[in-house]
Every structure is written in structure tokens, then in C-alpha cells.
Amino acid sequence: MQLPPQLLDILRKASRVTVLTGAGISADSGIPTFRDPQHGLWSRFRPEDLANAEAFKRDPALVWGWYEWRREAVRAAEPNPAHLALATLEHRVPGFTLITQNVDGLHARAGSRKLVELHGNIMRNKCFAEGTVVEQGVDDGEPPPKCPRCGGPLRPDVVWFGEALDEQHMATADKAARECELFLVIGTSAAVMPAAHFPRVALQSGAVLVEINRDETPLSAVSHAVLRGPAALVLPHLLNTAWPGN
């Protein structure tokens, strides 16, 4: 893949880089994306119909089962070269922020620390009634497990449709988008708000916007450069070309 020389120059010199990732970056770790067709049992459901509080109230066992299925995939997965490349980039850039919409925890497992998990983490649970994080639920034989304090059902500690995102996470992401020189948007359809807004905030604030995605998205047309292909190939290639021999 031919990389624009100007982009390599900007990447080498930038002191503030912000990255937004989506499900596409974990696709090469074997984790299904949201808007590509689902597999097997779950192909009957759209994620939008399961990732919300109404669905959980209606059928908590069904929604819990979907998350258990996804947790199995996460447990079996390993960070791929794209996750590892971003963990390396964090050490090269003084002002680095990685904002992820992913709940799979693979960025942290790859070594990323300047990380905002905007939509939570699928391996954590919280009480549906109280909202507090619960380490160990009570198994009464009927999924989902229950809160040891109030007996309410546990749910994954993720952000569902119609729910507010953590204020501190939003403030950190917004600041990073406003202040960066280079914004990389990787493996997201840019269909879900407010995350999809951050690349545009960066653009409006004068940053160079670069998209890395297998397919076209609404951001492709407004990006300064588009690197088309799987993130697990494109990102290591980008870093190895910018800093050869490292």
C-alpha cells in the first residue's frame, strides 16, 4: 500500500494524536462487528434490538445469553497487530489519547494505557437496579445472576442505546478531539452518536483526519486521507513505514 508522504511526515512530527476505534479493529481477533451480518443463533437479532434497557426488561435471560455468547468470543480472542501498533504509538507521541467504542478490553490487553473505554467493558457487570459495579453475582439457577445487595438482575457494564455516556469519559474524549493535530478513525461505521461526532469535532478544530477502514463510511468523504484495508495490516504498515527498523 502506497502511503502519502505528507501523512508520514505529520505522524512523525505530531505531538498530539487522538485515535477513535470501533469494532473493525477487533474483527481480525475474531470478534464479530455490529453492522456486518451476525452469525448462527444470533443472526435472527439485530444488535440494536438487544443492546437496550427495554429489551433487558422484556427478556433479561435472552439479552444476558447474547452477552455470554459475546464474552466467550472475547475470552478466546487475543489482541491483533492493530491493537499492538496503537500501544506502541502511545509511547511515540507525548499527547496521545485512544478513545474506543469497543467493550472487549483488547486495547488494554495490548498495553494501551491512555485509553477511554467510551461504551464500557463487557467483562464487568453492574446491578440493573442500583447501577453499582458487582464483582460476584448470586446464581439462583435462573440467568442473569442477581445483585448480592438488592437481589436485582445483573447486566453488563456497557452503554446501551438511549443511555448517557460517562461524563468524565466524554470530557476527556472531547478535549482530545479538540486539541489534537492528527485524528485517526479506525474500524468504525461512524453510525453511532456521540462517538461519531468526535472526528468531526477534530476536523472543525483544524486537525488532519485520517480514516483506516475496510469499507467506505460517512467520514471517508471528509477525511484528508483514507487508508483502505484491514486495520491489522494497515496500522503496522503505517508505523513501520514512519519509523523503519523499530
- What do you get for the CA distance between the two ends of the chain, in Å? 19
Residue among 39, 91, 119, 197 flagged as catalytic: 119
Residues 214-233, one symbol each (x = binds ligand BJW by CB under 6 A, - = not), give xx-x------------xx--
From the list 127, 158, 176, 235, which residue makes contact with ligand BJW (rule: CB under 6 A)?
Answer: 158
CB of 120 to ligand BJW, least distance (A): 7
For residues 92 and 17, the answer to whether their CB atoms sit within 8 Å is no
107 scored as a contact of ligand BJW (CB under 6 A)? no
Could you write out the DSSP letters of every residue in 222-239? G-SEEEES-HHHHHHHHH
Spatial strand order of the sheet with 182-186 comes to 115-117, 95-100, 16-21, 182-186, 208-213, 225-228
Catalytic (active site) residue 119:
yes
The CA-atom distances, in angstroms, between 121 and each of 48, 65, 118, 173, 209 are 18, 16, 9, 17, 27
Burial track 181-208 (b if 16+ CB lie within 10 A, e otherwise):
bbbbbbbbbbebeebbebbbbbbeeebb
Site mask for ligand BJW (CB under 6 A), range 38-77, x = bound: ---------x---x--------------------------
At closest approach, how far in Å is the CB of 60 from ligand BJW?
Answer: 14
Among 83, 107, 114, 119, the residue binding ligand BJW under the rule CB under 6 A is 119
The rounded distance, in Å, linking the Cα atoms of 154 and 131 is 9
Q: Which residues contact 11 (CB under 8 A, 6 or more apart)?
A: 17, 182, 238, 242
Least distance from C-beta 245 to ligand BJW, angstroms? Answer: 26
The distance of closest approach from Cβ of residue 95 to ligand BJW in the complex, given in angstroms and rounded to an integer, is: 24
CB of 113 to ligand BJW, least distance (A): 20
**Residue 99 lies near ligand BJW (rule: CB under 6 A):** no
* Residue 78 sits in the site that holds ligand BJW (CB under 6 A): no
Short-list 162, 165, 198, 167, CA closest to 183: 198
User: Which part of the chain contacts ligand BJW (CB under 6 A), choosing from 17-25, 135-143, 144-152, 199-207?
Assistant: 17-25
Chain positions contacting ligand BJW, by CB under 6 A? 22-24, 27-28, 33-36, 47, 51, 101, 103, 119, 158-164, 187-189, 191-194, 213-215, 217, 230-231
